[in-house]
Amino acid sequence: DIHMTQSPSSLSASVGDRVSITCRASHPISRYLNWYQQKPGKAPDLLIFAAAGLQTGVPSRFSGSGSGTDFTLTITSLQPEDFATYFCQQSYNTPHTFGQGTKLEI
């Protein structure tokens, strides 16, 4: 199985800040990397697909980059509604594995 490691596991920030979350795969996965946002008690929502594709309706302050084993989710100018948990997920092969999550807190 491909192991996905996110860092940091938690992050404190303020409205207006720029933050980055990294995700590292234990095996090269090209661009087969997606990012999801999850708010408490809710299902995950797709943010970024194929490492850098912005899902329809997601604000442009979210961006993704990377290829191979190292990937980054960047949020510029944090808004109050961005405080949530973020997961990366590889779709290179099955089982589709997820990172352990990064909790973004005020």
Partner 1 sequence: QVQLVQSGAEVKRPGASVKVSCKASGYTFTTYYIHWMRQAPGQGLEWMGIINPSTGTTSYSQKLQGRVTMTRDTSTTTVYMELSSLTSDDTAVYYCARDIVRGDLTWFDPWGQGTLVTVSS
Given the rule CB under 8 A, which residues bind partner 1?
31-32, 34, 36, 42-46, 49-50, 55, 87, 89, 91, 94-101
Tell me if residue 81 falls in helix, strand or coil: helix
Distant-in-sequence, close-in-space partners of 77: CB < 8 Å, separation ≥ 6: 16, 17, 18, 61
Q: How far is the CB of 84 from partner 1 (least distance, A)?
A: 14
CB of 106 to partner 1, least distance (A): 19
**Minimum distance from CB of 96 to partner 1 (Å)?**
4
Nearest residue (CB) to partner 1, 17 versus 45: 45
Residue closer to partner 1, measured from CB, 1 or 18: 1
Smallest gap from residue 73 Cβ to partner 1 (A) = 14
Q: Taking the CA atoms of 46, 47, 50 and 51 in sequence, report the sign of the dihedral they define.
A: negative
* 50 HSE (CA, 13 A, CB side): 3
Question: Which residue intervals of the chain are DSSP H helices?
Answer: none
Closest CB to partner 1 among 32 and 75? 32
